[in-house]
Amino acid sequence: MRRWALLAGLTLVVGALAAGWLARTVGRSGTRAAVLGAVVAGWLAAWVLWGFAGGLAARWGWLATYDAPLFAPLALVGGAWQYRAQTRYSRERGLLIFVIGQLVWLLFVLARNGALGG
């Protein structure tokens, strides 16, 4: 099951990046395919970096627990919201949503580990 999920995700990323590259080659960098490629790449990079940092923090004892799979629902909702904002309004609004999503995840991790008091 995990192989199929990874293969499907990799196919989606490669397809979106190829569509974005083709759009840039033709001279239409603001197309929906280019925006989709950028959004998917951004959230995948965030997932990798959060997983790496959270795993190290948990291993070194800085965090009591780190649940990387819980980032997936945030990434799906945040990515869809970012894509919609970026295609309807502007790139800046989409990036604002991306940053808000990262801050929400940070607050979630800190709250789950009791770092926010309470």
pLDDT digits (tens, 9 = 90+) for 32-72: 878 888 898 889 889 888 988 998 999 998 989 888 888 99
Question: For residue range 92-105, what is the model confidence (pLDDT) as tens digits?
Answer: 999 999 999 999 99
Question: For residue range 26-36, what is the model confidence (pLDDT) as tens digits?
Answer: 666 667 878 88
* Exposure of 34 in the CB half-sphere (CA atoms within 13 A): 12
Token pair recorded at residue 115:
């770092």
The one-letter code for the residue type at 4 is W
pTM: predicted TM-score of the whole model, two decimal places: 0.75
What does DSSP assign to residue 118? -
